[in-house]
Amino acid sequence: MEQSRAGLKDYILLIKPSLSIMVVFSSVISYLLVPGVLIDWWRIILFFAGGMLVTGSANTINMVVEKDTDALMKRTAKRPIASGRITPEQGWGFAVLTGALGVFILGYYFNWTAALLAAFSLFLYAFVYTPLKKINSVAVLIGAVPGALPCLIGWVAGFLPGQEIAWLGGIIMFGIQFFWQFPHFWAIAWVAHQDYSRVGFKLLPSDKGPTKFTALQTLVYTLLMVPVTLAPFFTGISTTAGTKGITALIFVILANIFMIVRSVILYNKMDVASARKVMFGSYLYLPVILLALLLAKA
């Protein structure tokens, strides 16, 4: 019985629950932002489950492909496949099962456009971004696409099968998560630079590691988040009318100031402690932005 529980825990770890929940949370908020979509808990649970399965499949493939690399890094050495608790063959089987089931749920219960986008996102993350990490730092740019697609998938899923999709809102939501990933991920790569460089990952914009250029790039993308996160208020996704709208706008502005200050501090101090503050700040920043937009839904 004890061994069976340990096995289940390992399969859950393949999904990378904390990461997957954050990704799917963004997707669910984007789904709820679609005009006409109401809070229907059954459909939200279905959508959440489909998203978790697809995201979990991509994460599992990542662990299979990077099992040898994971085994060399302190932060990943205890992962189920890297440590040998689950075989690569079992990992592939789990990835195929979860990926296929997740795509089916999105297609059957929502629409097949969302399902195809989810399948494309899975492919791009698992088979393009993952191997590219050891070749060129452009991997971060490529990886930001499947990282942001859940927002577009959520938006598209909000339209009924056969209904014409208004793509602008989805593109804006995609843009929010796309640009957010750069300061977020570069901060992570800064903190874990020694581990990453040891195994040959090229994830910072400078080949020389955490440099002034890296800090400047982090600040630039943080500043780009300001117009992107304000765009929903000017395109009718969210509104500034009423108390809720004004409150939401204030939260968005304060959240941007919060991230800009942290990025400026990183640029000035150039240390791991400041990079860690950007990293943890970004974890707080994105949910605040998304919930504020939902609060002010037009």
Of 119, 134, 162, which marks where a domain is finished?
Answer: 162
Q: Do 82 and 230 lie in a common domain?
A: no
- Residue 3 has what pLDDT? 42
Number of domains in the chain: 2
d(CA 262, CA 93): 42
Q: Do 135 and 44 lie in a common domain?
A: yes
d(CA 8, CA 220): 43
pLDDT tens digits in sequence order for the chain, 298 residues long: 334 445 888 999 999 999 999 999 999 999 999 999 999 999 999 999 999 999 999 999 999 999 999 888 888 889 999 999 999 999 999 999 999 999 999 999 999 999 999 999 999 999 999 999 888 889 999 999 999 999 999 999 999 998 999 999 999 999 999 999 999 999 999 998 888 888 888 888 877 779 999 999 999 999 999 999 999 999 999 999 999 999 999 999 999 999 999 999 999 999 999 999 999 999 999 999 999 999 999 7
Q: Do 45 and 170 lie in a common domain?
A: no
| Structural domain boundaries enclosing 256 | 166-298
Q: Do 36 and 115 lie in a common domain?
A: yes
- pTM exceeds 0.85: yes
Q: Do 188 and 121 lie in a common domain?
A: no
Least Cα distance to 297 among 79, 46, 31, 71 occurs for 31
d(CA 76, CA 234): 43
Of 109, 129, 162, which marks where a domain is finished?
Answer: 162
Amino acid at site 65: V
Q: Do 9 and 94 lie in a common domain?
A: yes
The answer to whether the CB of 293 falls within 8 A of the CB of 238 is yes
Of 131, 162, 193, which marks where a domain is finished?
Answer: 162
- Residue 202 has what pLDDT? 82
The pairs formed by 276-285 with CB atoms below 8 angstroms and a separation of 24 or more are: 276/187, 276/191, 278/183, 278/184, 278/187, 278/218, 279/184, 279/187, 279/188, 279/190, 279/191, 282/180, 282/183, 282/184, 282/187, 283/22, 283/184, 284/258, 285/180, 285/255, 285/258, 285/259
Domain containing residue 117: CATH number: 1.10.357.140
Phi/psi-derived region of residue 42, left when phi > 0, alpha when psi is between -120 and 50, beta in every other case: alpha
Quote the radius of gyration of the chain (alpha carbons, Å).
19
The answer to whether the CB of 14 falls within 8 A of the CB of 55 is no
- Residue 5 has what pLDDT? 45
Q: Do 30 and 117 lie in a common domain?
A: yes
Instruction: Classify 289 as helix, strand or coil.
Output: helix
CA torsion sign for 97, 101, 104, 110 is: negative
What one-character DSSP code corresponds to residue 270? -
Q: Do 144 and 170 lie in a common domain?
A: no
d(CA 167, CA 181): 21
Q: Do 223 and 275 lie in a common domain?
A: yes
d(CA 30, CA 44): 11
What one-character DSSP code corresponds to residue 52? H
Q: Do 143 and 173 lie in a common domain?
A: no
Q: Do 174 and 157 lie in a common domain?
A: no
- Residue 235 has what pLDDT? 94
Q: Do 42 and 177 lie in a common domain?
A: no
- Residue 4 has what pLDDT? 40
